Amino acid sequence: MPGQARILSSKEISRIQKFLPTARDKTLFAVGIYSGLRVGEIVQLRYDQLYTESGGIRSVLKIKRSKRKNTVFSDIPTHPKLRDALATYKDEIDDCKWLFPSKESATGHLTRAQAHNILKKVFDSLDLEDASTHSMRRTCLTNMSRAGVPLRTIQEISGHSSLSALQAYLAVDPDDKRRAINLLRY
């Protein structure tokens, strides 16, 4: 769909992961691609949301989202590749309140703009047209949908208020349409 963030292929994801220069940047990308969180939610993650008091990695990321009329909670299981990134990154941020601390930010953590600049530089270097921080979210949710995950489950993870809002994020691949037609057996 024109104007929407690019859905990243597996090959592109691999190239991005190899190109990111630091453990922080690799972890920032891994959180996005393996959780479907918005970049604004990612930069506000606290250390204790991903690591236990003893320093282990939590098996579930608990997200609290404030909506207009209520608060929505999402429990997102920690993907094994995200666990690996978090394990590598842990030593860099021990004893920090934020998962992505920043001395340049008034909030004490990376801002959305800082995260955007970090990732946009990589996307541009790899000539990934229309790729943005939102590509991580769209890629994660679209790949779950393509794998046959029920939309209600994806909605629970993504925090979308309705299935129609979620469906606007999901890309339809021409191969998906071909496979759907080829399923017809009458």
Q: Is the pLDDT at 173 greater than 80, yes or no?
A: no
Q: Is residue 106 part of a domain?
A: yes
Virtual CA dihedral for 65, 68, 71, 76, nearest 10 degrees?
Answer: -30
- What backbone phi and psi angles, to 5 degrees, belong to 166? -65, -45
Q: How confident is the model at residue 66 (pLDDT cuts 50, 70, 90)?
A: confident
8 A C-beta contact, residue 36 and residue 140: yes
Domains held by the chain: number: 1
What residues are paired with 73 via a beta bridge? 64
The larger pLDDT score, comparing residue 146 to residue 84, is at 84
The larger pLDDT score, comparing residue 43 to residue 156, is at 43
Q: pLDDT at position 69, please?
A: 66
**Nearest-CA neighbor of 40 among 110, 94, 102?**
110
- Whose tokens are 């997200």? That residue is 63
CA distances from 57 to 85, 86, 104, 150, 174 (A): 10, 7, 27, 27, 38
* Least confidently predicted of 61-65, 101-105, 129-133: 61-65
Q: How confident is the model over 109-165, as pLDDT tens digits?
A: 999 999 999 999 999 999 999 999 999 999 999 999 988 899 999 998 988 888 888
Q: Is the pLDDT at 67 greater than 70, yes or no?
A: no
Q: Is residue 48 part of a domain?
A: yes
Q: State whether residue 62 is helix, strand or coil.
A: strand
Range of the domain at 170: 10-182
Structure tokens, 127: 């000539």
Q: Is residue 3 part of a domain?
A: no
DSSP code of residue 104: T
Q: pLDDT at position 88, please?
A: 94
pTM: 0.90
CATH code, 178: 1.10.443.10
Q: Is residue 2 part of a domain?
A: no
Q: pLDDT at position 10, please?
A: 95
- Tally Cβ neighbours within 10 Å of residue 136: 28
